[in-house]
A and B are shown apart, each in its own frame.
Chain A
């Protein structure tokens, strides 16, 4: 994926580099797929331990509707949790930056909240929100906001004080300093947390589904486990991996688009 899109130097070599990297990744994936299929046949591994990739793919293609519905449902939960968690995390970081007292009061509570195992917290959330989509989004939110708060705060605080002084000398208001200087400066650091949160929010959504639901990748995993249907477990796993990787890649792509200047200064 191309860096520095906004900078727009010659596009042709960049496009060639992009094609090459995509080609390499596809080749690597194909190699893994072939190895999987080949090793299972070669060593005669029993399907109970590792079914053949072709069998897993066939299982997905046999009932594509169920997997697609599960994919969409889990994606929705993850996205809602991720977006609200990310926004809340940044908002709290700004509030902490502005008000030291608030930070000293609330920050320890946040830390405590994060030491509660997500499973324990999940039971409570299901009691509050029932078996709804919202319950899963809340768990995804819970896992997302904290790393974003911490990293955004680090980013906001690492702004060069001379840069703030310069903005003030231009007569900038605190709001202008925030939007034109502090928030963009904190972007690289915030994205470190957002990439982490991309994986965490998916975990939250899947764990949330285990507390009870009818659709979702977590539901498919659980059902397959109860039925001891190994192929179905692998199928659900594969679709989850696709969702996780795709989501992470989307966040990483957004990062390269927005933070095109790199870690300069």
Chain B
């Protein structure tokens, strides 16, 4: 919470952001997915991104994960240095929407996949993963295969794989989207707990406003396509965040502001669709 002492607006420069995007565009043929997207994410910050569906959230993530190059013109800086998206491959730990576990690998071997690719000896990587199992609620399940696990457990294995791949920036793309509401809130609290201990920088996509506020230090609301930042909302709710926070008046106030912004954008994307039709 060190960086959050000043009450200055979020647009004021913060010291040395871990990653910075400035005026990033991305077009796929006739479709403009991102237009002038700008954001700065500081070290150790938990930033959540919400927006109407089809607003280019996934495109944004693919760029930050290094999988997709933005159109020429925008600026991408990582650790203070200007870089190409491809330079980020192997430097960001990325967790896609689906767990994407390999069905022929058991829990441990799925968790160490990224370490193995880095060239770490398997034995050493397995030992490290074994030590981490209890924290992820997977103690005793190391030899199980993905088809033997519940959805929530599979998701935790995928998260563990992301955490074991120790990179400063973690990208989580709707990691709890496919879970039922109860498991989801449990996983959110658990994620905050783990994050507070490991202190990584997290960029988290969601379409659930509650989730965005509950988890984030800052929420970025995206515009309808082409995606840009519509609103940047600092969440000054105290940590550790308790489950009953979601009913607190400050929480509701923030939620109202965010929902208004999102709804405006959702309506816009509907209108665009109607005009085209």
Chains A and B belong together in one complex: yes
Which A residues are in CB contact (< 8 Å) with B89? Answer: 168-169, 171
| Known contacts A162-B100, A165-B96, A184-B104; is-contact A171 B147 (Cβ 8 Å) | no
Q: Taking the nearest CB of chain B, how far is it from the CB of A179, in angstroms? A: 11
Which B residues are in CB contact (< 8 Å) with A187? Answer: 104
Does A264 reach chain B (CB closer than 8 Å)? yes
Does B153 reach chain A (CB closer than 8 Å)? no
Contact B102 A184 (CB under 8 A): yes
Contact A170 B103 (CB under 8 A): no
Contact A169 B118 (CB under 8 A): no
Most chain B CB inside 10 Å of its own CB: which residue of A165, A171, A184, A187: A171
Write the chain B residue with the least CB distance to A172.
Answer: B117
Contact A7 B65 (CB under 8 A): no
Contact B67 A160 (CB under 8 A): no
Which B residues are in CB contact (< 8 Å) with A166? Answer: 94, 96, 100
Write the chain A residue with the least CB distance to B62.
Answer: A165
How many angstroms between the C-alpha atoms of A171 and B117 in the bound complex? 7
Write the chain B residue with the least CB distance to A181.
Answer: B102
Q: Taking the nearest CB of chain A, how far is it from the CB of B5, in angstroms? A: 34
Contact A264 B147 (CB under 8 A): yes
| Known contacts A169-B89, A169-B92, A180-B117; is-contact A162 B62 (Cβ 8 Å) | no
Which residues of A121-177 are within 8 A (CB) of B? 160, 162-163, 165-172, 176
A170 partner, pick from B102, B114, B143, B146, beta carbons under 8 A? B114
| Known contacts A7-B148, A180-B117, A261-B145; is-contact A170 B165 (Cβ 8 Å) | yes
How many residues on the A side are at the interface (Cβ–Cβ under 8 A)?
A: 24
Which A residues are in CB contact (< 8 Å) with B145? Answer: 6-7, 260-261
Which A residues are in CB contact (< 8 Å) with B116? Answer: 180
How many angstroms between the C-alpha atoms of A260 and B93 in the bound complex? 29
Does B90 reach chain A (CB closer than 8 Å)? yes
The digit string for A172-207, where 1 denotes a CB below 8 A from any CB of B, is 100010001100100100000000000000000000
How many angstroms between the C-alpha atoms of A102 and B146 in the bound complex? 37
Does A265 reach chain B (CB closer than 8 Å)? yes
Contact B147 A261 (CB under 8 A): yes
Does B113 reach chain A (CB closer than 8 Å)? yes
Write the chain B residue with the least CB distance to A171.
Answer: B90
Which B residues are in CB contact (< 8 Å) with A181? Answer: 102
How many angstroms between the C-alpha atoms of A176 and B91 in the bound complex? 17
How many angstroms between the C-alpha atoms of A36 and B117 in the bound complex? 60
Which B residues are in CB contact (< 8 Å) with A165? Answer: 62, 65, 67, 96
Which residues of A224-265 are within 8 A (CB) of B? 260-262, 264-265
Does A8 reach chain B (CB closer than 8 Å)? yes
Q: Taking the nearest CB of chain B, how far is it from the CB of A206, in angstroms? A: 36
The digit string for B209-240, where 1 denotes a CB below 8 A from any CB of A, is 00000000000000000000000000000000
Which B residues are in CB contact (< 8 Å) with A262? Answer: 147
Which A residues are in CB contact (< 8 Å) with B256? Answer: none
Write the chain A residue with the least CB distance to B101.
Answer: A265
Contact A170 B104 (CB under 8 A): no
